Amino acid sequence: MFHKIVKLNNIKQLNHVSPPDHGFGLLNLIYGNNGAGKSTICKVLNILNGKDCSLLERLKSIECDEDDNIDFNFLFMENEKQKSITSKNIEEL
């Protein structure tokens, strides 16, 4: 189960985002102003669910330099254990 967003960098308008300390539960409400990144977070989670990280490049911020990489870290809970999915280890999943 998805638990927490630790880091999101260079993903559309989400750059150097520091998410709140609380985690996610079984049912969550994501709200914010237009352009705040609600749909982007949903797209990233869908991509992670499908494990097709090649689609992440489509979400790269237009403000990034060519050398900048998408960087993220999400925490999931599996059988009472925390599992981290990052931009570095997603290929291994």
- What HEC string does the chain produce? CEEEEEEEECECCECCECCCCCCCCCCCCCCCCCCCCHHHHHHHHHHHHHCCHHHHHHHECCCCCCCCCCEEEEEEEECCEEEEEECCCHHHC
Taking a C-beta distance cutoff of 8 angstroms, is the pair 76, 3 a contact?
yes
Q: For residues 11 and 60, is the Cβ–Cβ distance under 8 A?
A: yes
Predicted pLDDT of residue 34: 93
Digit-by-digit pLDDT tens for the chain (93 residues) are 788 888 888 888 776 666 667 778 888 888 889 988 888 888 888 887 776 777 877 887 877 777 788 888 888 888 888 888 887 777 666
- pLDDT recorded at residue 48: 78
Q: What is the pLDDT of residue 25?
A: 83
The pTM is what? 0.69
